[in-house]
Amino acid sequence: MVVLVLISIIFSFAMLSLGGDKLAEAMEQETRRLATLISMASDEAVIRGEELAIHFSDDSYAFLVLRAGDWLPAENDRLLKTYSLPAGIQVRLEVEGEPPLLVEPDEEDEEDEETRLVPQVYILSSGEMTAFSATFSTDQSRYRYHLSASLLGELDWEVEETF
């Protein structure tokens, strides 16, 4: 009888560990997607000779292009667009250093400034980008995924288990 109880307990733990953490899998997928998109955007910026950027919010991120002095969403681009994160997953951004000032700020009314997208990460046509770290997390998972980028555009990501 004791052997059956022990076997059932071990089997239960094995099933829980094999079942996986669906939110952790979603965070890993989002981390990989963002890393791939940033790498591709960096290549596109160099090839096109355009300045690109990313605007992050708590639950989404959008790729922007500099047009006539304004940061605008990339039109007609199926990959470099706005991405919403799955429900419950947040992204926290930490920018290292000051982003380059590419456009002199104009004196505009406050309404216009509120609707403008202000990027936090710049991807320059020279191949450089703003050094940053983005952390994907959720309250329902014990894992966090960190994506970091260097000034030269080198990307690295890792998973952290919290207790």
Domain locations along the chain: 21-161
Name the pLDDT band for 79 (thresholds 50, 70, 90): confident
Q: Which of 8-12, 63-67, 79-83 has the lowest mean pLDDT?
A: 8-12
pLDDT of residue 78: 83
pLDDT of residue 21: 75
Find the mean pLDDT for residues 144-152. Answer: 92
Report percent pLDDT > 70 for the chain: 76
Q: What does the pLDDT look like over 83-110, one tens digit per residue?
A: 999 988 999 898 875 544 444 445 454 4
User: What fold is seen in the domain 21-161?
Assistant: minor pseudopilin epsh fold (3.55.40)
pLDDT of residue 110: 47
Q: What does the pLDDT look like over 21-57, one tens digit per residue?
A: 788 899 999 999 999 999 999 999 999 999 999 999 8
Q: Look at residues 62, 63, 60 and name the one whose alpha carbon lies nearest to residue 52.
A: 63
Q: What is the pTM of this model?
A: 0.75
Task: Please give, one letter per residue, the 3-state secondary structure of the chain.
Answer: CHHHHHHHHHHHHHHHHHHCCHHHHHHHHHHHHHHHHHHHHHHHHHHHCCCEEEEEECCEEEEEEEECCEEEECCCCCCCCEEECCCCCEEEEEECCCCCCCCCCCCCCHHHHHHCCCCCEEECCCCCECCEEEEEECCCCCEEEEEEECCCCCEEEEEEECC
pLDDT of residue 45: 92
Q: Look at residues 91, 54, 92, 56 and name the one whose alpha carbon lies nearest to residue 73.
A: 54
> Cβ distance 69 to 103 under 8 Å?
yes
Other beta carbons less than 10 A from residue 24's beta carbon: 20
* Per-chain mean pLDDT for the chain: 81
